[in-house]
Structures are given as C-alpha cells and as structure tokens.
Structure 1
Amino acid sequence: MRTAYRVFAYLIAVEVVVQAAVIAYGVFGLGKWIDDGHVVTKHNADSGSITGSAGFVIHAVNGELLVPLLAIVLLILSLFARIPGGVKWAGLILLLVVVQVALGLLSHAVPGLGALHGIDALAIFGVAAVAGYRVPRHRPADSRPAEQPSGTRV
C-alpha cells in the first residue's frame, strides 16, 4: 500500500507537468494558426481544425477526469497505507484538485481566475511531490518480524 500511495502521489505530480505541456501546445498552436492568417471562430475551434487544438482537449480530459480520479484513489489508498500524515496530505491534494477543476471551469466566464488556476497547479505539484517523498522507504518497526535470540533455532 505504501508503494501504491507513493506511486499515485508522484503520478499526480507528473500529471501536472503533462497538463502544463499540453496547454502550452494548445496555446502556441493557436498562436501559429492566427499568425498564419487564420481566424478563430466557434466552428473551427469546435471542429478541431486549429493547430494545437488537441492540447486543449487533452488538458480538459486530464484535468476534469484523470487527475480527480487519481486524487480520489490516493485518498482511498491513504486510508489503508498507514503512512504518518498520509490521509492529511491526500486530503489536501484532493481539495486542491477540486479547487483546480472549479477554477478551470469558472475561468471561462472570469478569465482573471486563470491566474489562480495556474498557481493552484503549482500547489498541487508541490504537495503531491512532497506527499510521495514523505512515504518511508522501509516498513515501520512494529511490522517487522521479531528477531530470534542468538543461539536458538526456529
């Protein structure tokens, strides 16, 4: 369970990097589309014909489905992994992810919230990386097999 917790925490941190990469691909692709003399309309935006439009789609799917799912699984794992503070860190990650999704959706109506969306992404990355790093690399002392006194046979 400890290893699974660590892996899921690090997966969430990696997903933040993926999210940054795909949204950058989308934005730079959109910039190139405009530089090439094209016009952005609702029709060509929805049709996927804009250069880099896949970046926006991947960002939306990852951000609204995959990252929240990973955060929920991490919280469930934390309940069984017996990691000191593990539930607290997993709960904080889930809270930050919920805020992130809300900011992402609300930013379409209030673009200024996009800045908070980016800041929250950095917080998710940092908290997830710390949560994964905090997992002890060895079993706790109470779960190790008892040592036999020297000179006795088992």
Structure 2
Amino acid sequence: MSIKLVPKEQFKHINEGYYYRGVVINTFTTLERNMEMILTDHFIDKEAKTLKNQFVFVILDRMTFEAKRTSIKSLVDQKSLENNFVKTKNNSYPHGKLFDEIRKLQELRNNFAHFSIAIPNEKTDSVIGLAGMRDKVDVIWYSLDEIDKINKRILKAADELIALFM
C-alpha cells in the first residue's frame, strides 16, 4: 500500500529537490572549470596573468560546454597521434570513453538545469523528480544514492581529465 503525501510534504520535497538540483549543477561546474583551466594553460603562457584572465572572460565564457569538450578531445587525440597511436576504423582513441562519459554527464546536467521539478503524490525514496516535456511528460526520479553516484561520476571525470594534462 502506498502512502499519499499531503501538500506540506509535497512542498518539502520540492524544496529539497531545488537543493539537490543545485548540488548536481554546482558539482558539474568543477568539471567545466577544470576544462577551462586545461584550455587556458594549453594556449596561454603561465606568466601572462592578464592575458589568462582575458582568455577566460572573453573567449571561454562565450564557448559552450560542448565546444570546450570537443576542443579538449581534439587536443588529447592529437597528443595520442603524436605518441604513435594509429587510428583505424576498428579502434577508438585511448580516452574516447572518458569523453563519452563527459558527454553523458552533460546530458544529465542539462536535465537538472532545464527540466521542471516533479511533485510526488506518494512517499518514495526519491529526493527529486525531473519532468521532461518533449512530446510528452517523462519524469525521472532520483534517490539520494543516485544523486551521490552522479556527483561522484562528475568528480571522477574532472580528475581524469586533469590527469591527462599533468
């Protein structure tokens, strides 16, 4: 038998949903800032502090996340080729899975940023429900454990990305 939520409990769930939405988006900014740091360090001399700031504020701030991701992937692919990796139809670049994971994480981030918060009718272990509205309403419910796993995936990808350039 399911337990119905009263309006006060629904309101509490919505407020907590805003919190968890913010946690995921904030964690994702760690990944994006790491990407910006990689691009800045690659293209701007470490001593050129003013130029670095201009690069971040003028160039990187105007680039989409996808543009940053594909730019870094291009740099890493180029580095692989310089280290004698041979690309064929039957193999992938050594770090292809990392960049696929980052793309998937971006899709999750977009869901958290743009989907509406769903209002639950019954008590569950979910802490947030996100309602996509493309063609039909599609609600994705997340438990606290799932939120934690998403955040860990984001931080792992951020660390792996930095490790590629150390």
Instruction: Name the TM tier (shorter chain).
Output: 0.3 to 0.5
Bigger helix fraction: 1
Q: Which has the higher strand share?
A: 2
TM-score under structure 2 normalisation? 0.34
**TM-score (norm: length of structure 1):** 0.36
For the pair shown, the structure with the greater C-alpha radius of gyration is: 1
